[in-house]
Chain A
Amino acid sequence: QITLKESGPTLVKPTQTLTLTCTFSGFSLSTSGVAVGWIRQPPGKALEWFALVYGNDVKYYSPSLNNRLTIAKDTSKNQVVLTMANMDPVDTATYYCALRMVPGAFDYWGQGTLVTVSS
């Protein structure tokens, strides 16, 4: 059974750095073609993809957030860690991690974690 779960702070202050962890089970990030990504959704708004890491450690970032993001995998712990610098109230959203096993899609999702940016 494949599961993913996001963890991290629910409240961060403007200008702080957000660190989120995705802990997963039921698959190996070492498998060829498998990736874990991060997607966020502001309240009442659309989904927005912004980071992806493959098992071979190739990483992709959304052009609009590229200079604020770092994604890293820890295969031994079955975790993917995301950091987003210089948080702003507009970054308030539910943050999801998701598994990409099929090409171009996210086939399993975590439950999401709401992060609020406020002073």
Chain B
Amino acid sequence: QSALTQPPSASGSPGQSVTISCTGTSSDIGTYNYVSWYQQHPGKAPKLMIFEVNKRPSGVPDRFSGSKSGNTASLTVSGLQAEDEADYYCSSHAGNYNWGMFGGGTKLTVL
């Protein structure tokens, strides 16, 4: 199965909002509510930011929110801050043959 599709880059100025999309198919995002988002700074391990489409782990600022419509999931970062500059990856369950499909990643730049 192909990876989930994300835009390679996104950007916004401090204080603005930016939304990153993640497009899958009816076999993954379209069927399962197990969509998660990860933040990865250079040289660091990924950090879970959103799970089950729109739930935030403890400690993740409420500036980060997730949603899903059809086969596309989205991550919105509101009130952009310099430390939000990172790579962001979406992931989805895809049935019994793929329990952790990832997207290609989006590099978020804070201008």
Give A residues with C-beta under 8 Å from B.
37, 39, 46-49, 52, 60, 62-63, 96, 102-112
8 nearest CB pairs, A to B:
A104-B34, A49-B100, A105-B36, A105-B51, A109-B45, A47-B102, A60-B99, A46-B105
Assembled-state Cα–Cα distance A115/B43 (Å): 15
Does B48 lie within 8 Å of A63, measured CB to CB? no
Which residue of chain B lies nearest to A108 when distances are taken between CB atoms in the complex?
B48
Nearest CB on B from A47, distance (A)? 4
Does B51 lie within 8 Å of A102, measured CB to CB? yes
Set of chain A residues within 8 Å of B55, measured between Cβ atoms: 102
Assembled-state Cα–Cα distance A94/B102 (Å): 15
- B:25-83 near A, CB below 8 Å: 32-36, 38, 40, 45-48, 51-52, 55, 57
Set of chain B residues within 8 Å of A49, measured between Cβ atoms: 91, 98-102
Q: Which of B34, B46, B89, B100 has the most chain A CB within a 10 Å cutoff?
A: B100
Does B45 lie within 8 Å of A104, measured CB to CB? no
Which residue of chain A lies nearest to B87 when distances are taken between CB atoms in the complex?
A46
